[in-house]
Structure 1
Amino acid sequence: MDSSTNTQSNIELAQFLRNQRTSIVEKWLENVLLPQNDPFYEEVKKNGHQTIVELINFLETGSLERLQALTSKIAKERIEAKANVGDFVHNINVGRSIVYELLMCSLLNDQLKGDGVLKMQLYFDQLVFLSVQEYTALKDSIIDRKNQFIQEMHHDRLTMLGQIAASFAHEFRNPLTSVKGFIYLLQKELNKTDQSEYYFEIIQNEMQSLEEKITQFLYLSKMRGLQDKLEKISLSALLKEMLNFMYPRFTETNIVTISQVENDVFTEGDSSQVKQVLLNILVNAVEELSGWNGERKIKVSLKKNEENMAELLICNNGNPIPDYLLENVFEPFVTTKSLGTGLGLSVCKQIVEKHNGTIEVSSTKDDTCFTIRFPLI
């Protein structure tokens, strides 16, 4: 087909669409997925007419440049109307089908019909592509803004909780120190009996537990970098020390421990804080396994990895952490225990990050593993 014939074909197709525009839009409105209370119902009717206008322009000029303005308008309105993208695409394809049907039932010759289908196919494909592209970009922008707002709110709340935690912790620690001192004096003055010794032991244990909770609150409130005295730490020796310390608990709860600890693995930091991390995770593992029916295992390994990091794994074969908690398990006040404070793992994460390290968790039906990495020295 030469250019003059092609031009004549486009003129005839454009005239056909002008004559049929009203009936196309009316039939389209009868078949689209669009609620009557749609806030842009009248605009949708206008968009239907404009779609045919742009199709006519494409046939006459061969250009799709003007289509972007229409698809931007449609996408914005569908976003504000909270329309489903599936319904959105369906409605465009309904319009495509109606145009094809009217074209094929027209009195135009077969060659003109075939030519028209090919050109209109190109137009409607581009209409769908640009509309969905605009719709998706707007949707992503809205989601990004919401996520940013949520993160800012979350950060503000954590900051406030940290300040409250620090305030309460200091208020509790001062009278606790006095109480401990007077208990010590009472122990020296009173006549000791087996019963009184038992009572004082309980008091001391509970006081120690309370002190640990207060320490966790204070850790939670320290959002700055590591300011404690730094020293060279043997992670190998520290891990073996904590495993020996926990051995009575392992024996009491029938837990089998499997350890592979590489020697001479050193990092820099505060040994007491690193001990706190190891102790928290090992205690959590013991508490989880204490209610586990079947063989109870804790696997521990320490090695130097290829990234010049000390890599420590502590795994237990107890119940997996639920998926809905797994992503937030290091957040303050998130816990899998019915009576837990939800501070232990949050404190661990903060200590590890203050040591320029990372801590991660994975959990399957086979085991739950905490992976901790510290820079080697």
Structure 2
Amino acid sequence: MDSSTHEQINKKLASFLSEQKSSIVEKWLENVLLPQNDPFYEEVKKNGYQTIVELIYYLETDSLDRVSNLTNKMAKERIEAKANIGDFVHNINIGRSIVYELLMCSLLNEHEKGEGVLMMQRYFDHLLFLSVKDYTALKDSIIDRKNQFIQEMHHDRLTMLGQIAASFAHEFRNPLTSVKGFIYLLQRELEKTDQSAYYFEIIQNEMQSLEEKITQFLYLSKMRGLEDKLVSVPLTTLLKEMLEFMYPRFTETNIIIHCDLRDEVYIEGDSSQIKQVLLNILVNAVEELSEWNGERIIEVKLKRNLEKTVELSICNNGNPIPDYLLENVFEPFVTTKSLGTGLGLSVCKQIVEKHNGTIEVNSKEDFTCFTIKFPTIKESSR
């Protein structure tokens, strides 16, 4: 078909649409899906008319350059009206169907109708593509801004929480030190009996528990450890020491320990802080397994990786961590325990990251595994 014939057909189609514009929009408005009390109802009518205007312009000029202005406007209005993208696509396709139906019922000949269908197909495909693209881009932009706002709020709250935690922790630690001193003096002054020794043991245990909680708050505040000197730490030996320290708890709760520790591995760090990490994870495993009815197993593996890192995994076969907690399990105050503070794993994460390491958790029906990776150093670096 030559260009002159093509232009003549397009002029006929444009003329036909101009005559039918009002009836097309009226019929379209009867079938569209709009939210109740849509605030843009009048704009929707205008958009319907503008859709036909742009179609006529396309038939006259063979250009789709102006369509993006319309789709961007419609996308903004549909998002503000809280319309879902399914309804948005449905409404465009309704308009397409109405135009096709009127075209097929027109007095145009079959060749002109065929050409009209092809031209309108291209137009509505392009209109639909841009509409979905603009709607999705705007929606993603809104979600990104909300996520950024939430993250900033979360960061600000954690920063404030850290400052409050540090303040309270220091205020508690000073009188606690005094109380410990006076308890020590009372132990020396008072006559010792089995009963008093039992009471003092309870007091000492409770004081130690308070000190541990205060230490966790100080780690959480990130004010602890900035001045720490990092030295070569024999991780394998340290892990063996913590397993021996926990042995009475393992025996008491009938836990079977499977170890694969192999050779000594050295990392650069603070041994007391690494012990804190190992103790927190082992204690969590013991507490979880203490409520487990079946066979109780803790697996501890330590292996070197090719990329000069060491990988430590501590797994238990207790109940899995619920999916809704798993993603945020290292956040402060997130806990599976009814009486837990939710600080232990958050402290672990901060300590590990301070040592240039990573910590992850994987929880399935059979096992819950905490995997820690540290960069290794040579023994001669000590």
Which TM-score band applies after superposition, normalised by the shorter structure?
over 0.9
Tell me the equivalent position of 2:16. Answer: 16
Matched, 1:155 2:159: no
How far the C-alpha of 1:191 sits from its partner, in A, is 1.3
Query: Structure 2 matches for 1:16-35, cutoff 5 A?
Result: 16-35=16-35
- Counterpart-to-counterpart distance in 1, 2:30 and 2:334: 52
Residue deviations 1:12-70, cap 9 Å, x none? 11111011100000000000001351111100000000000101111111110010111
Matched, 1:193 2:196: no
Secondary structure of the residue aligned to 1:376 is: strand
Unaligned runs of 5+ in 2: 378-382
Counterpart contact for 2:27–2:98, Cα < 8 Å: yes
- Counterpart-to-counterpart distance in 2, 1:29 and 1:224: 66
> How many equivalent pairs are there?
377
- Counterpart-to-counterpart distance in 2, 1:80 and 1:4: 45
TM-score where L is the length of structure 2: 0.97
Tell me the equivalent position of 1:280. Answer: 280
Tell me the equivalent position of 1:168. Answer: 168
Tell me the equivalent position of 1:373. Answer: 373
Residue deviations 1:93-145, cap 9 Å, x none? 00000001111111111111111111111110110100110111111111111
Matched, 1:77 2:77: yes
Secondary structure of the residue aligned to 1:237 is: helix
- Counterpart-to-counterpart distance in 1, 2:261 and 2:191: 48
Tell me the equivalent position of 2:55. Answer: 55
Which residue identity does 1:240 align to in structure 2? K
- Counterpart-to-counterpart distance in 2, 1:124 and 1:54: 11
How far the C-alpha of 1:306 sits from its partner, in A, is 2.2
Counterpart contact for 1:226–1:354, Cα < 8 Å: no
In structure 2, do the counterparts of structure 1 residues 260 and 141 end up closer, same or farther at CA, with 3 Å as the change threshold? same
- Counterpart-to-counterpart distance in 2, 1:307 and 1:354: 19
Counterpart contact for 2:233–2:269, Cα < 8 Å: yes
- Counterpart-to-counterpart distance in 2, 1:72 and 1:52: 16
Secondary structure of the residue aligned to 2:332 is: coil
Secondary structure of the residue aligned to 2:330 is: coil
Matched, 1:64 2:64: yes
- Counterpart-to-counterpart distance in 2, 1:47 and 1:287: 63
How far the C-alpha of 1:227 sits from its partner, in A, is 2.8
- Counterpart-to-counterpart distance in 2, 1:318 and 1:44: 58
Matched, 1:86 2:61: no
Which residue identity does 1:39 align to in structure 2? P
Query: Structure 2 matches for 1:1-377, cutoff 5 A?
Result: 1-35=1-35, 37-222=37-222, 226-377=226-377
- Counterpart-to-counterpart distance in 2, 1:211 and 1:154: 27
Counterpart contact for 2:21–2:49, Cα < 8 Å: yes
Counterpart contact for 2:333–2:343, Cα < 8 Å: yes
- Counterpart-to-counterpart distance in 2, 1:100 and 1:224: 72
Counterpart contact for 2:24–2:99, Cα < 8 Å: yes
How far the C-alpha of 1:223 sits from its partner, in A, is 5.6
- Counterpart-to-counterpart distance in 2, 1:265 and 1:122: 66
How far the C-alpha of 1:264 sits from its partner, in A, is 2.4
TM-score where L is the length of structure 1: 0.98
Counterpart contact for 1:226–1:355, Cα < 8 Å: no
Counterpart contact for 1:356–1:374, Cα < 8 Å: yes
Secondary structure of the residue aligned to 2:263 is: coil
- The percent identity for this pair of structures is 81
- Per mean C-alpha deviation after superposition, the further-off stretch among 240-249 and 282-291 is 240-249
RMSD: 1.1
- Counterpart-to-counterpart distance in 2, 1:156 and 1:176: 30
Secondary structure of the residue aligned to 2:286 is: helix
Counterpart contact for 1:238–1:275, Cα < 8 Å: yes
Which residue identity does 1:182 align to in structure 2? F
Counterpart contact for 2:218–2:224, Cα < 8 Å: no
Counterpart contact for 2:231–2:268, Cα < 8 Å: yes
- Counterpart-to-counterpart distance in 1, 2:120 and 2:256: 72
- Counterpart-to-counterpart distance in 1, 2:341 and 2:74: 50
Counterpart contact for 2:356–2:374, Cα < 8 Å: yes
